[in-house]
């Protein structure tokens, strides 16, 4: 039997394409930096749990930025392949074709030792979840039958793909024993606009004791003044600053229920409150031909990303892993909302005629704008309330995040 493992170059090309497109995703027509969440975007997708086991349901959630509060419709669908961003994560087969593949695979393997054996008259179709999983903001998927069935499904698809002419559009997990990685596709469509599409891989458990990954847990977002010396200048308008200056390390947890007041022209530090238990120990499978089945134990590495709608970040992406700084430090960045009553020459160059007193380019001049720091053409009453998000990935498909809100109540003028 041929396996995809025999075609490492093919797998590598899929990985390379994914990496390229992921890094391009952040660059819109205006070439905003990746972390600037000022238009409709998918910032992250999560499966909880990330490894789905028998008897469990996985819940799928999207972290999106929707600064103009556009009305959205959603669509979730899963696919038993790792699919390609170049084909907009389209599943290369239908569910009916999958059922056909499984039936053929059972026939082909019926004689083989360890092949998938099912009682006569068993209806495969009834065991495979619908690909379409609804139009709500979240979706759920139930584990299909047993680990043996899922393992057989994985191996059957490996065989199918090795014989098929679907090239470049899809891949199957290279080692089904380690879990069957499949894809959830998420589409959100604004009224009268183009769909925005993203995908998340997650794992159907196939019985390995090693494959029990958990999502990182982000308990919230902490904030403090970058320079303690600024406290005197802002504490009369930001009472929480006085409170935080008295705390060890000065970190103040942004309340979940109410936006925290902040000022423009002051640099804050924000920290992702990742629980230390989130750093799991795991063992990768050893490469073929080496001694033993597993590599030595290692700690998970994290990629921590920050997203804001307004302002500038010092670091928008940090990597935590062996021999790096402590998690607390890596999970931190500086955030400043620069507001100048007079735009700089660079900003002026970006302004259109008649906009030189409209710093946030929302069509309302600064002196009349109810929030001159945030583009809010509709002058909504909460126009100065903006989100800040931290997304943490564990490089094993696990994702966690926290989004909190701040209220820009004014600026520190100097
Ligand atoms: Ca994990
Ligand atoms: Ca304005
Ligand atoms: Ca405004």
**β-strand partners of 298:** 282
Average pLDDT estimate for 362-390: 91
Closest listed ligand to the CA of 357: 2
Rounded to whole angstroms, what are the CA distances from 313 to 144, 185, 211, 257, 318? Answer: 43, 30, 36, 24, 12
CA of 374 from ligand 2 middle (Å) equals 7
175, 204, 233 - which closes a domain: 204
Confidence of residue 117 (pLDDT cuts 50, 70, 90): low
CA of 268 from ligand 2 middle (Å) equals 23
CA of 366 from ligand 3 middle (Å) equals 7
- Which of these, 162, 156, 147, lies nearest to 5 by C-alpha position? 162
Pair (237, 195) in one structural domain: no
Pair (13, 47) in one structural domain: yes
Per-residue pLDDT of 96-114, as tens digits, reads: 999 988 888 777 766 666 5
Q: Report the run of H or E that residue 389 belongs to, with start and end.
A: strand 385-393
Unique residue bearing structure tokens 């530090």? 269
CA of 370 from ligand 2 middle (Å) equals 8
- Per the structure, how many domains does the chain have? 2
**Does residue 210 sit within a domain?**
no
Pair (172, 250) in one structural domain: no
Q: Residue 21: give the domain boundaries.
A: 4-204
**Does residue 173 sit within a domain?**
yes
Pair (194, 331) in one structural domain: no
Pair (83, 188) in one structural domain: yes
**Does residue 277 sit within a domain?**
yes
Pair (181, 58) in one structural domain: yes
CA of 40 from ligand 2 middle (Å) equals 20
Pair (169, 238) in one structural domain: no
**Does residue 237 sit within a domain?**
yes
Write out the residues surrounding ion ligand 2, Cβ under 5 A.
358, 360, 362, 364, 369
Lowest mean pLDDT among 79-83, 316-320, 326-330, 349-353: 349-353
**Does residue 70 sit within a domain?**
yes
Locate 207 and state its tokens. 């019985």
Pair (153, 233) in one structural domain: no
Confidence of residue 347 (pLDDT cuts 50, 70, 90): low
CA of 338 from ligand 1 middle (Å) equals 36
Contact 316, 331 (CB under 8 A): no
Q: Which residue has the higher pLDDT, 162 or 255?
A: 255
**Does residue 213 sit within a domain?**
no
Per-residue pLDDT of 4-14, as tens digits, reads: 333 333 333 33
Pair (192, 77) in one structural domain: yes
pLDDT of residue 2: 35
Lowest mean pLDDT among 108-117, 284-293, 398-407: 108-117
**Does residue 350 sit within a domain?**
yes
**Does residue 209 sit within a domain?**
no
Q: Which residue has the higher pLDDT, 294 or 59?
A: 59
204, 234, 259 - which closes a domain: 204
Neighbours of 356 (CB within 10 A): 14
Q: What percent of the chain clears pLDDT 90, i.e. is strictly above it?
A: 59
Confidence of residue 21 (pLDDT cuts 50, 70, 90): very low
């Amino acid at each position: 039997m041929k396996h995809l493992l025999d075609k490492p170059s093919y797998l590598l090309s899929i990985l390379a394409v994914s990496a390229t497109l992921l890094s391009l995703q952040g660059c819109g027509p205006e070439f905003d930096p990746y972390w600037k969440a000022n238009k409709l975007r998918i910032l992250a997708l999560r499966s909880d749990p990330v490894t789905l086991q028998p008897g469990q349901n996985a819940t799928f959630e999207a972290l999106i930025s929707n600064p103009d509060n556009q009305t959205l419709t959603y669509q979730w669908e899963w696919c038993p392949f790792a699919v390609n961003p170049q084909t907009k994560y389209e599943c290369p087969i239908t569910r009916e074709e999958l059922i056909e593949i499984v039936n053929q695979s059972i026939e082909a393997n019926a004689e083989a030792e360890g092949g998938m054996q099912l009682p006569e008259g068993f209806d495969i179709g009834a065991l495979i979840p619908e690909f379409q999983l609804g139009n709500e903001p979240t979706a759920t998927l139930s584990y299909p039958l047993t680990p043996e069935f899922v393992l057989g499904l994985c191996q059957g698809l490996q065989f199918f793909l090795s014989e098929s002419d679907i090239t470049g559009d899809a891949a199957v997990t290279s080692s089904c024993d380690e879990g069957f990685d499949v894809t959830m596709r998420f589409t959100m469509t604004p009224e009268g606009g183009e769909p925005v599409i993203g995908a998340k891989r997650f794992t159907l458990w196939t019985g390995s004791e090693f494959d029990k990954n958990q999502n990182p847990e982000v308990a919230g977002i902490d904030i403090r003044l970058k320079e303690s010396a600024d406290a005197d200048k802002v504490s009369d308008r930001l009472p929480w600053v006085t409170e935080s200056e008295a705390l060890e390390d000065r970190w103040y947890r942004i309340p979940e229920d109410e936006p925290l007041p902040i000022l423009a022209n002051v640099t804050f530090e924000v920290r992702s409150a990742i629980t230390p238990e989130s750093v799991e120990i795991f063992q990768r499978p050893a490469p073929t031909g080496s001694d033993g089945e597993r590599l030595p134990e290692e700690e998970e590495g994290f990629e921590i990303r920050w997203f804001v709608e307004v302002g500038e970040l010092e670091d928008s992406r940090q990597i935590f892993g062996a021999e790096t700084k402590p998690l607390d430090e890596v999970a931190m960045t500086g955030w400043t909302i620069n507001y100048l009553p007079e735009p700089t020459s660079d900003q002026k160059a970006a302004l259109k005629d008649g906009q030189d007193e409209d710093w946030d380019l929302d069509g309302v001049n600064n002196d009349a704008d109810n929030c001159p720091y945030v583009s809010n053409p509709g002058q909504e009453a909460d126009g100065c309330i903006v989100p800040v998000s931290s997304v943490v990935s564990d490089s094993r498909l696990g994702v966690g995040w926290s989004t909190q809100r701040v209220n820009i109540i004014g600026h520190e003028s100097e």
